[in-house]
Amino acid sequence: MKSSTSKLLGIVIALQVMLLIGQWVNPPASTAQAQVPNPSERQMEMIDQLRTLNGKVDHLISVLQGGIDVRVPKSDAKK
- Distance, CA of 32 to CA of 24 (rounded, Å): 19
> pLDDT at residue 79 above 60?
no
- Taking the model in full, what pTM does it have? 0.42
State the CB neighbour count (10 A cutoff) for residue 77.
Answer: 5
Higher pLDDT, 74 or 28: 74
Give the model's pLDDT for residue 55.
96
Average pLDDT of span 7-34: 82
pLDDT at residue 66 in the model:
87
On the CB side of 12, CA atoms within 13 Å amount to 6
Averaged pLDDT score across all residues of the chain: 84
The pLDDT score that the predictor gives to residue 14 is 93
Dihedral of the alpha carbons of 36, 40, 42, 45, in degrees to the nearest 10: -150
